[in-house]
Amino acid sequence: MAFLHRQSPFCVFVIALTFLVLLTSPASSLDCSSQKFANNLYANCTDLPTLKSSLHWIYISKTSSLSIAFIAPPPKPDGWIAWAINPTQTGMAGSQALIAFKDANGSMTVKKYNISSYSSIVEGEISFEVPESRAEYSGGSMKIFATVKLPETMTEVNHVWQVGGLVTEGRPTKHEFQPANLKAVGKLHLKLAEKEQNNSTTAGSPIVSPISSPSPSTSSASCNTKMYVYFMLIIGALISN
Ligand SMILES: *[C@@H]1O[C@H](CO)[C@@H](O)[C@H](O)[C@H]1NC(C)=O
Ligand SMILES: *[C@@H]1O[C@H](CO)[C@@H](O)[C@H](O)[C@H]1NC(C)=O
Ligand SMILES: *[C@@H]1O[C@H](CO)[C@@H](O)[C@H](O)[C@H]1NC(C)=O
Ligand SMILES: *[C@@H]1O[C@H](CO)[C@@H](O)[C@H](O)[C@H]1NC(C)=O
Ligand SMILES: *[C@@H]1O[C@H](CO)[C@@H](O)[C@H](O)[C@H]1NC(C)=O
């Protein structure tokens, strides 16, 4: 008994830790029906087939803008989530990504990445105008809210999503290569939704958050170069594994 008694603080610690992990582990269900937004901003929602994620969205044809709320649990609280449009093909290569993660002071940030190939992931400008973007973290999941202006002729969108567990020095690093990660691609049909939205008075962006998002950092050319080198190193490390 003395032995047990001596051990009990440790046991209590382990049990407490277990509860903590259970409490803070990513919510198992982030499907469309479980998520509500003020004013029902997003008429459409798609339960994404992988990574426990969902995409709430609305396409306003008048302004050819797509507003989205992408919700996913990162593998770790300090990880990242990403949602991207690929204007030229399906999959990651060529995609124009929005990646959300906690920046140095702990507040959520959204940055834009031009992923022109697996070896070139550059923070900075992407081929779409993004008038608004912000991110939230709560209950183990991250949310990206963004409005993207699309070419008027675009009727469907190849999109890609992803999660990763690590951000190093303000840079999201490699994600897992499990089937769920690799199958995270899909297509949105915008014009199906358009009919219903034609009468919508929600011109422009439906994002009406009182929370002002931190303005995305304007990265210098040298920063982009560093990013490039950095990701090259990661890709190199991945390949050599
Ligand atoms: C993205 O990167 C590719 C390859 O470097 C480049 O051709 C393209 O212009 C870039 N897009 C933007 C919007 O900067
Ligand atoms: C989007 O939502 C509207 C209204 O609920 C619906 O009629 C339309 O079919 C949806 N579009 C897609 C692509 O799901
Ligand atoms: C939407 O409304 C415009 C007029 O504002 C009309 O020309 C167009 O045909 C409508 N589109 C659909 C799909 O109903
Ligand atoms: C708006 O919807 C009504 C029916 O609900 C329809 O009669 C009207 O033509 C629509 N307006 C436009 C601009 O499409
Ligand atoms: C965190 O830093 C960003 C700039 O990088 C700033 O806009 C934001 O207000 C800061 N947040 C807090 C909570 O200090």
Say which CATH number the domain at 49 has.
2.60.40
Half-sphere exposure of 13 (CA within 13 A, CB side): 5
Whether the CB of 212 sits within 6 Å of ligand 5? no
Secondary structure (3-state) at 159: strand
Helix (H) or strand (E) holding 109, with range, is: strand 108-117
- The best mutation among 98, 113, 114 to test binding of ligand 1, ranked by most ligand atoms within 8 Å of the C-beta, falls on 114
Q: Strand ranges (DSSP E) for 23-64?
A: 44-47, 54-60
The model's pTM:
0.67
Q: List the one residue out of 209, 234, 186 whose CA is nearest residue 53.
A: 186
User: Residue 121's pLDDT band (boundaries 50, 70, 90)?
Assistant: confident
Q: Answer yes or no: is 43 within a domain.
A: yes
- How many structural domains compose the chain? 1
Q: Answer yes or no: is 85 within a domain.
A: yes
CA dist 106 and 5 (Å) reads: 40
Q: Answer yes or no: is 200 within a domain.
A: yes
pLDDT digits (tens, 9 = 90+) for 149-208: 999 989 999 999 999 999 988 888 888 888 888 889 999 998 765 555 555 544 444 444
Q: Answer yes or no: is 58 within a domain.
A: yes
